[in-house]
């Protein structure tokens, strides 16, 4: 048990998929895993452990933003021995060449700040995905016929960003999309010798202002879960 996870040690698998939304964790576990069991519900943050093609997997919510993800990822790694952590979530596109529903596999994640800033201090650390996971996820997404983009993303501390100049600079520097968690996940994984990746679907577009219709969100999310599972066990 930890302050935020009531699971017994051994209840959490070495491979953990982390959607932001706890109800997405429930849906994904019930849809894709055999024998999913609820292992956490502290503060409504749901985690389930089951099997996918015989492999043990936990699907656990991260909450929104890096401070929330940091709490769960730290506890999953330090107390429960998680070794592979894959964020599955949505993002806002920052390039004209990226479309709604496209899949983004994040090679790096820029940020203004992360919870790890306190220990990295003056270092502009470059949070980076695990290469083996990244390669396997790209192959899995291409195998499904998804439009997949591989490159840098931006992990923001705000959803309601009042800095249009920042979006402009991100776009100018080739950043594919914005979300709110990956930079800290990659940094924590590196610090603890774990593998991490973020697989994202584009839910909205910052340049064209298009958005994924609510009825399409489930199927796009399902494709991402399968890509993450295939990458984890490739
Ligand atoms: N900003 C931050 N996070 C996001 C967005 C966004 O526009 N879309 C999906 N996640």
3 state SS for 33-59: CEEEEEEECHHHCCEEEEEECCEEEEE
Measured CA distances, 80 to 12, 72, 75, 221 (Å): 6, 11, 7, 26
Residue nearest to atom 10 of ligand 1 (CA): 91
Residue nearest to atom 9 of ligand 1 (CA): 91
Select from 178, 210, 220 the residue to mutate for testing ligand 1; criterion: most ligand atoms less than 8 Å from CB.
178
Share above pLDDT 90 across residues of the chain, in percent, rounded to a whole number: 95
Work out whether strand 55-60 and strand 15-19 pair parallel, antiparallel, or are unpaired: parallel
Express each pLDDT in 113-140 by its tens digit: 999 999 999 999 999 999 999 999 999 9
Distance 90 CA to ligand 1 centre (A): 7
Distance 149 CA to ligand 1 centre (A): 17
Looking at residue 16, its pLDDT comes to 98
Q: Enumerate the active-site residues.
A: 204
C-beta of residue 57 within 8 angstroms of C-beta of residue 13: yes
Whether pTM > 0.85 for this model: the answer is: yes
Distance CA 17, CA 27 (A): 13
Express each pLDDT in 68-99 by its tens digit: 999 999 999 999 999 999 999 999 999 999 99
Distance CA 39, CA 80 (A): 12
**Which residue ranges have their beta carbon within 6 Å of ligand 1?**
90-92, 156, 159, 178-180, 203-204, 206
Residue nearest to atom 1 of ligand 1 (CA): 159
Looking at residue 217, its pLDDT comes to 81
Distance 223 CA to ligand 1 centre (A): 19
3-state secondary structure the chain: CCCCCCCCCCCCCCEEEEECCHHHHHHHHHHHCEEEEEEECHHHCCEEEEEECCEEEEEECCCCCHHHHHHHHHHHHHCCCCCEEEEEEEEEECCCCCCCCCEEEEEEEECCCCCCHHHHCCCCCCCECCHHHHHHHHHHHHHCCCCEEEEEEEECCCCCCCCHHHHHHHHHCCCCEEECCHHHHHHHHHHCCCEEEEEEEEEEECCCCCECCHHHHHHHHHHHHHHHHHHHCC
**Would you say the C-alpha torsion 16, 22, 24, 26 has a positive or negative sign?**
positive
Residue from 108, 104, 84 nearest 18 by CA = 84
* Residues pairing with 57 in the sheet: 50
Express each pLDDT in 161-189 by its tens digit: 999 999 999 999 999 999 999 999 999 99
Looking at residue 8, its pLDDT comes to 96
| CATH code reported for the domain at 15-232 | 3.40.50.1580
Distance CA 27, CA 42 (A): 18
Which ligand 1 atom sits nearest the alpha carbon of residue 161? Answer: 1
Residue 215's pLDDT band, with cuts at 50, 70 and 90, is: confident
């Amino acid at each position: 048990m930890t302050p935020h996870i009531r699971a017994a040690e051994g209840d959490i698998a070495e491979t953990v998929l982390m959607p932001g939304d706890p109800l997405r964790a429930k849906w994904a576990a019930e849809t894709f895993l055999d024998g999913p069991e609820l292992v956490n519900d502290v503060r409504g943050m749901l985690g389930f452990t089951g099997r996918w093609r015989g492999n043990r997997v936990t699907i656990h919510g991260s909450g929104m933003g890096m401070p929330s993800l940091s709490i769960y990822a730290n506890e999953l790694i330090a107390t429960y021995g998680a070794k592979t952590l894959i964020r599955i979530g949505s993002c806002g596109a920052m390039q004209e060449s990226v479309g709604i529903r496209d899949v983004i596999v994040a090679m790096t994640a820029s940020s203004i700040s992360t919870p790890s800033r306190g220990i990295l201090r003056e270092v502009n650390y470059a949070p980076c995905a695990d290469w083996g996971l990244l390669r396997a996820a790209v192959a899995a997404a291409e195998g499904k016929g998804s439009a997949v983009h591989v490159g840098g993303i931006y992990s923001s501390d705000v959803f309601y960003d009042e800095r249009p100049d920042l979006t402009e600079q991100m776009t100018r520097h080739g950043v594919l999309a914005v979300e709110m968690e990956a930079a800290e996940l990659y940094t924590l994984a590196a610090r603890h010798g774990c593998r991490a990746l973020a697989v994202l679907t584009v839910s909205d577009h910052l340049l064209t202002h298009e958005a994924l219709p609510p009825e399409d969100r489930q199927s796009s999310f399902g494709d991402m879960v399968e890509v993450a599972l295939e990458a984890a066990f490739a």
